[in-house]
Amino acid sequence: MGRPHLIMLIVGLSGSLTACNAVRGDLEPSAQTVQLSGTDYSVEELTASTWTALALRSVPDGPQRTAGLVKAIEKASGCKVTDSSYGARNGALTAQVDCGGKLKNQ
- Give the C-alpha separation, 60 to 67, whole Å: 12
Q: In which band, very low, low, confident or very high, does the pLDDT at 29 lie, cut at 50, 70 and 90? A: low
What global pTM score does this model have?
0.68
Q: How many domains does the chain have?
A: 1
Counting Cβ atoms within 10 Å, is residue 94 exposed (0-12), middle (13-18) or buried (19+)?
Answer: middle
Q: Is residue 15 part of a domain?
A: no
Cα dihedral value 16, 17, 20, 24, nearest 10: -170
Q: Is residue 13 part of a domain?
A: no
Higher pLDDT pick, 17 / 51:
51
- Give the C-alpha separation, 33 to 73, whole Å: 10
- Give the C-alpha separation, 102 to 42, whole Å: 24
Higher pLDDT pick, 106 / 48:
48
Q: Is residue 81 part of a domain?
A: yes
